[in-house]
Amino acid sequence: MIFGAGFDSRAERFDHLNKSTKIFELDAPITQQEKFKAFSRKKINVPENLVFVSIDFNKESLSKKLIEAGFETSRKSMFLMEGVTMYLSSTAIDNTFSFIRHFSEKGSLVIFDYVNAGVLRKENKYHGEKDIFKTVSRAGETWTFALEEGEIESFLGHYGFTLKDHSTALELEKKYFRDLEGKILGKINGTHNIAIGSRRSSTA
């Protein structure tokens, strides 16, 4: 399941690998309409196992929309949120992760990025912080949700997930932007982190 899928094309690009997997893409109606138009212009076929679900995360019931779309609550699933959490209200975050908790089996994964709370307080501690705020503002958007440093484990634990992997921007630089001599070749935006949680059990 891909939250805020936008123009993500993984379902199409990896269709040959996903024949037995049902993929749900969730996003605002206007975004999905533009995606349909783009696919039509490019003559891209939508895979039969891809289901589009139009939703306003801050206003509509996630569980109702997905169940209506055919989501099976008894299956092990992967929930992917890229560039989503920071735009949601605290209520929408709670509704979304509560849904994932109640409708995922043991071993299901939730993968998402989030911003550090100091960013919302404009403490300017992270590389690229000022510039990304300008970019977000120009797009007419506002970041509304963040987590304190070190809070990720308790956050996931509250929703029945165990922290499986966590990467800060600095850790990602060391992992992906080092040459053979260990020199960092480039900086990435320091405001974000990436977390992977694994569902403990369907009753936790």
What is the reported pTM?
Answer: 0.88
Give the number of C-alpha atoms closer than 13 A to the C-alpha of residue 171, restricted to the C-beta side: 8
- At 161 the three-state DSSP class reads strand
Is residue 146 over pLDDT 80? yes
SS3 assignment for 21-82: CCEEEEECHHHHHHHHHHHHHHCCCCCCCEEEEECCCCCCCHHHHHHHCCCCCCCCCEEEEC
pLDDT band at 204 (very low <50, low <70, confident <90, very high): low
List the chain domain ranges: 2-199
35 Cβ neighbours under 8 A, 6+ residues apart: 5, 6, 7, 27
Q: What pLDDT, on a 0 to 100 scale, did the predictor assign at position 154?
A: 98
- State the distance between the two ends of the chain, measured CA to CA, in whole angstroms: 21
User: Residue 1: is its pLDDT beyond 90?
Assistant: yes
Report the CATH architecture of 2-199. 3-Layer(aba) Sandwich (3.40)
Report percent pLDDT > 90 for the chain.
61
- pLDDT, tens digit (0-9, with 9 covering 90-100), for 72-88: 887 899 999 999 999 99
Q: Quick one: pLDDT at residue 133?
A: 79
